[in-house]
């Protein structure tokens, strides 16, 4: 908890602003001591006596890309590309959440406290009266045959979510990861490990390397005495995890986190799936552009954006009491592009999106040149992204482009400014079936 001279956070009196009957168990650093004692008593290769030879690496992979849950007012602003309203919404979210992000950047995992609901379910949160951020283990189950085949060392699967809620405009964002485990453990341990690792990425901002994700998970487990846990991230999922970490860092508009970037241009591209079909951002091509966290560019994206679900189908943390305010949902992906060389150069990218039917989809792109207006392109079928970069019908006007897809689905792409954006940060929203 904070003292009288600082921003008030993790105060029990503020819990009812977001949750029902939760009680505070204790701060994260005290809970870490308890986990170490737990691991010392566990005889299943989890004590500090484990050696590297005993480690059996298991995969950690994205379970779901971010899902946005909000109200009709916010949904309408995004779907109609009302940038003035969107920036008002993002400003409100920043006021609600920036103090919590600042505390996480300062204190890391120790910013969190463990909370417990009346059934005994425990997870980790940092909160104020205006917003909250949490790490919660949704479930832990025995691995099925398909999961064991893909990840031979796994015996159990733990789904852990990282979520953010801003009370001002009732905006909630959740994304989740699937942890392969060699043994069953207390669920709150996984929630703590995830909170610990994502706190370190939040502190780094967009200078992170996604290759460190599995390494840090392994180190966080070892710090608790669980040296036998060793996590790995499949190379094909690097871009997918990078988008999840970007979401954890910036949510929908924490603009102050961009200020450290020594870049001429940054483009934040958000793809929203309002449809009843699954979509995937399958591959892309770039000119002088790089995604934060990836280290080097690959044509492969492999980012799955599931179809819409109802607000009451989302798995919320125990006791979350603002469900009635959330009636609009969609999954989306956030991709951030920075120009690699900043001297007198902009950056361009083209992305191919695939429908759940093989060989079908659409292609879109954005060009942010140094000495002329920004341009866009969208085509209602798959096109080789490299070919479109070099020879496509790019246009600056209008700022919103739309296509029809299979007669029933409307797809639009829009950019908030053609030039002169504050801090050279441009926002691109792509809506599927808005």
- Range with the poorest average pLDDT among 154-163, 289-298, 320-329, 351-360: 289-298
**For residue 47, what pLDDT is reported?**
40
Yes or no: say if 114 and 123 are a contact pair by the CB < 8 Å rule: yes
Query: Which residues, in sequence order, are CB contacts of 358 under 8 Å at separation 6+?
Result: none
User: Rounded to whole angstroms, what are the CA distances from 240 to 44, 233, 356, 396?
Assistant: 33, 11, 17, 29
Q: Is pLDDT above 70 for 48?
A: no
What three-state secondary structure class fits 311? Answer: helix
Yes or no: say if 123 and 115 are a contact pair by the CB < 8 Å rule: yes
Q: What is the band of 3 on the pLDDT scale with cuts at 50, 70, 90? A: very low
CA Rg, the chain, in Å?
Answer: 22
**For residue 259, what pLDDT is reported?**
44
Q: What is the band of 256 on the pLDDT scale with cuts at 50, 70, 90? A: very low
For helices 187-204 and 83-107, the axis angle rounded to 10 degrees is: 110
Mean pLDDT across the stretch 274-290? 91
**For residue 6, what pLDDT is reported?**
72
Q: What is the band of 330 on the pLDDT scale with cuts at 50, 70, 90? A: very high
Q: What is the band of 45 on the pLDDT scale with cuts at 50, 70, 90? A: very low
Q: What is the band of 263 on the pLDDT scale with cuts at 50, 70, 90? A: low
**For residue 109, what pLDDT is reported?**
94
Q: Is pLDDT above 90 for 331?
A: yes
Mean pLDDT across the stretch 49-74? 82
Residue 13: count of CB within 10 angstroms of its CB = 8
**For residue 49, what pLDDT is reported?**
44
Q: What is the band of 50 on the pLDDT scale with cuts at 50, 70, 90? A: very low
> 400-405 and 156-166: which strand pairing?
unpaired
178 versus 324: the higher-pLDDT residue is 178
Q: What is the mean pLDDT of the chain?
A: 87
Lookup: tokens for 231: 């996590």
Highest-scoring range by mean pLDDT, 190-199, 261-270, 346-355: 190-199
Yes or no: say if 199 and 248 are a contact pair by the CB < 8 Å rule: no
**For residue 35, what pLDDT is reported?**
79
Whether the CA torsion 196, 199, 203, 207 is positive or negative: it is: positive
Mean pLDDT across the stretch 328-332? 92
**For residue 291, what pLDDT is reported?**
84
Yes or no: say if 64 and 240 are a contact pair by the CB < 8 Å rule: no
Mean pLDDT across the stretch 66-77? 93
User: Rounded to whole angstroms, what are the CA distances from 159 to 141, 145, 177, 223?
Assistant: 9, 17, 6, 21
**For residue 296, what pLDDT is reported?**
63
> 425-432 and 409-415: which strand pairing?
antiparallel
Q: 20: closest CA among 311, 323, 313, 312?
A: 323
**For residue 255, what pLDDT is reported?**
54
Query: Which residues, in sequence order, are CB contacts of 47 under 8 Å at separation 6+?
Result: 39, 40, 225, 227
- Range with the poorest average pLDDT among 44-53, 54-63, 83-92: 44-53
Phi then psi for residue 220, to 5 deg, are: -65, -40
What sections of 205-276 are H helices per DSSP? 212-223, 238-250
**For residue 396, what pLDDT is reported?**
93
Q: Is pLDDT above 90 for 391?
A: no
Q: Is pLDDT above 60 for 115?
A: yes
Strand partners, 427: 268
CATH numbers and ranges of domains, the chain: 12-250 (no CATH), 262-323+333-432 (2.60.270.20)
Whole-angstrom Cα distance, residue 336 to residue 293?
Answer: 10
Q: How many CA atoms lie within 13 A of 399 on its CB side?
A: 15
**For residue 34, what pLDDT is reported?**
81
Q: Is 245 exposed, middle or buried (0-12, 13-18, 19+ CB in 10 A)?
A: buried
């Amino acid at each position: 908890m904070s003292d009288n001279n600082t921003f008030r956070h993790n105060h029990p009196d503020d819990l009812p602003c977001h949750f029902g009957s939760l009680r505070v168990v204790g701060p994260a650093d005290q809970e870490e001591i308890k986990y170490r004692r737990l691991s010392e008593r566990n005889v299943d290769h989890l004590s500090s006596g484990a050696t590297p030879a005993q480690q059996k690496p298991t995969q950690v992979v994205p379970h779901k890309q971010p899902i946005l849950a909000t109200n009709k007012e916010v949904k309408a602003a995004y779907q109609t590309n009302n940038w003035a309203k969107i920036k008002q919404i993002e400003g409100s979210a920043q006021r609600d959440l920036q103090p919590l992000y600042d505390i996480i950047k300062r204190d890391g995992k120790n910013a969190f406290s463990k909370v417990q609901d009346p059934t005994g379910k425990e997870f980790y949160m940092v909160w104020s009266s205006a917003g909250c951020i949490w790490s919660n283990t949704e479930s832990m189950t025995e691995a099925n045959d398909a999961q064991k085949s893909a990840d031979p060392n796994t015996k159990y699967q733990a789904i852990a979510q990282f979520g953010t809620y801003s009370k001002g405009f009732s905006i909630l964002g959740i994304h989740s990861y699937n942890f392969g485990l060699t043994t069953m453990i207390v669920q709150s341990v996984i929630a703590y490990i995830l909170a610990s690792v994502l706190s370190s990425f939040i502190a780094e901002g967009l200078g992170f390397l996604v290759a460190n994700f599995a390494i840090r998970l392994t180190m966080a487990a070892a710090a608790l005495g669980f040296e036998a846990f060793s996590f790995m991230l499949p190379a094909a999922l690097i871009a997918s995890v990078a988008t999840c970490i970007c979401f954890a860092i910036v949510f929908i508009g924490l603009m102050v986190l961009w200020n450290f970037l020594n870049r001429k241009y940054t483009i934040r591209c958000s793809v929203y799936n309002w449809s009843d079909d699954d979509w995937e951002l399958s591959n892309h091509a770039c000119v002088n552009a790089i995604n934060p966290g990836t280290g080097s560019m690959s044509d492969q994206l492999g980012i799955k954006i599931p179809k819409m679900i109802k607000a009451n189908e989302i798995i919320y943390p125990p006791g979350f009491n603002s469900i009635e305010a959330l009636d609009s949902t969609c999954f989306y992906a956030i991709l951030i592009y920075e120009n690699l060389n900043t001297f007198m150069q902009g950056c361009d990218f083209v992305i191919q999106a695939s429908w759940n039917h093989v060989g079908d989809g659409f292609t879109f792109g954005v060009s942010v040149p140094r000495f002329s207006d920004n341009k866009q392109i969208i085509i209602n079928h798959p096109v080789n992204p490299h070919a479109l970069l070099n020879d496509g019908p790019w246009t600056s006007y209008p700022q919103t482009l739309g296509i029809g897809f299979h007669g029933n689905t409307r797809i639009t792409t829009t950019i908030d400014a053609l030039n002169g954006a504050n801090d050279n940060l441009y926002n691109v929203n792509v809506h599927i079936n808005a």
